Amino acid sequence: TPRPTPRPPGQRYVVQPGDTMFFIARRFGVSIGDLIAANPQISDPNVLFPGQIIFIP
């Protein structure tokens, strides 16, 4: 029986209206640098869209 691939610790978060990377980092107790590094798909960390999924390390 194949074993499930372990996922890195952390969680996914769905961006809500008004969220910023700074606010999300503060809410989850992570540094803004770590949050940005964990989400290389976000080309501009100053621009988030409601419904966007980001990874919280």
- Average of pLDDT values for 30-53? 96
Q: Which fold would CATH assign to domain 11-56?
A: Membrane-bound Lytic Murein Transglycosylase D; Chain A (3.10.350)
Cβ contacts of 27 within 8 Å, gap of 6 or more? none
Q: Where are the alpha helices (DSSP H) in the chain?
A: 21-28, 32-37
User: Which pLDDT does position 5 carry in this prediction?
Assistant: 52
Report the Cα 13 to chain-centroid distance in Å.
Answer: 6
Cα distance between residue 39 and residue 13, in whole Å: 11
pTM, two decimal places: 0.80
pLDDT digits (tens, 9 = 90+) for 11-28: 999 999 999 999 999 999
